[in-house]
Amino acid sequence: MRKNERLKGKTVVITGASGGLGEQIAHRCAASGANLVLLARNQKKLEQLAENVSEKYSVDCLPLQLDLSRHEDIPAVFRDIIERVEYIDVLVNNAGYGVFSEAKDVTAADVKGMFSVNVVGLIVCTKEVINYMRQRKSGHIINISSQAGKLATPKSSVYSATKHAVLGYTNSLRMELAKDGIFVTAVNPGPMATNFFDRADPSGNYVKSLGRYILSTEKVAEKIVEAMLMNRREINLPGWMNAGSILYTLFPRLVERLGKKAFFKK
């Protein structure tokens, strides 16, 4: 496991930390000597992860329960974090979920839920760290978006809309905070082998169709941690999928026509 020496003694806050990509990021940050604040809804999983990480890497690890859909709870949780750890060097906005459904079938509850967690929760968390980072003239905000935020496909209209929103917010935030020495990075991975698809695609057909092309959380986490406290605009994985997103920006009609069969594999 490669180490990022810039993280030694720093404090990293990770949302959605109880499993999947968030858990892998936590392990790699701790291996680099960072102290952690782990946020998620499942307190039991958080406490178990915090105990394992603390024992294995000899770092401080604070598990705090937070449901990002409860926006009114977020300010108090971040005040608690600041009181306990004094400062936040890196915020990783990792929490999020998706439901794959055709636009005609998507429920109002799913629309509200995805925007509530993926967009509003992310924005409120970010708002809570900006002033602290500005006071210290340093910090790094990392927003986990998706290739779906660049190239929308059938059955992911609402999920893609949330990730388009995250990218728009991230791009604006990056320009606002550049003068304060604060880095802002968007991470745009393709499909990853996590329990995301247990909810997004209960049939399992999409994951099956991806086969060996699905990303590992270990690889994505490694790229993210390597870039921490560096001025990286974006991290795009895998390369071939990002090339498709770039091509789509240039020739959308062509890509939609040629990729139609593949896009409907969900």
Partnered with residue 236 across adjacent β-strands are 188
3-state secondary structure of 55: helix
- Residue 131 and residue 128: Cα distance in Å, rounded? 7
pLDDT of residue 86: 86
DSSP class of residue 216 equals P
Candidates 111, 122, 114; CA nearest to 97 is 114
Could you read off the pLDDT of 227-258 as tens digits, one per residue? 999 999 999 998 877 787 888 788 778 777 77
Q: Is the pLDDT of residue 65 over 80?
A: yes
pLDDT of residue 227: 98
Radius of gyration of the chain (CA): 18
Q: Is the pLDDT of residue 266 over 90?
A: no
Q: 159 Cβ partners below 8 Å, 6+ apart?
A: 98, 99, 100, 114, 118, 146, 148, 200
What would the two tokens of residue 263 be?
Answer: 């896009």
- Tell me which of 87-96, 124-133, 243-252 is least confident: 243-252
pLDDT of residue 196: 58
Asked if the bond preceding 252 is cis, omega within 30° of 0, the reply is no
Mean pLDDT of 48-53: 97
The catalytic residues are 159
Q: Is the pLDDT of residue 200 over 50?
A: no
Average pLDDT in the chain: 90
Mean pLDDT of 48-70: 97
Count Cα atoms within 13 angstroms, Cβ side, for 161.
16
pLDDT of residue 202: 58
pLDDT of residue 254: 76
Share of the chain above pLDDT 90, in %: 76
| pTM of the model as a whole | 0.89
Mean pLDDT of 72-88: 96
Mean pLDDT of 52-78: 97
Q: What is the CATH number of the domain that holds 73?
A: 3.40.50.720
Number of domains in the chain: 1
What would the two tokens of residue 42 be?
Answer: 């499942």
Q: 36 Cβ partners below 8 Å, 6+ apart?
A: 11, 12, 13, 14, 17, 26, 29, 30, 50, 53, 59, 60, 61, 62
Candidates 15, 133, 1, 123; CA nearest to 67 is 15
Could you read off the pLDDT of 9-36 as tens digits, one per residue? 999 999 999 999 999 999 999 999 999 9
Domain membership of residue 202 as a residue range: 5-263
Q: Indicate the pLDDT class of residue 212, thresholds 50, 70 and 90.
A: low
pLDDT of residue 170: 98
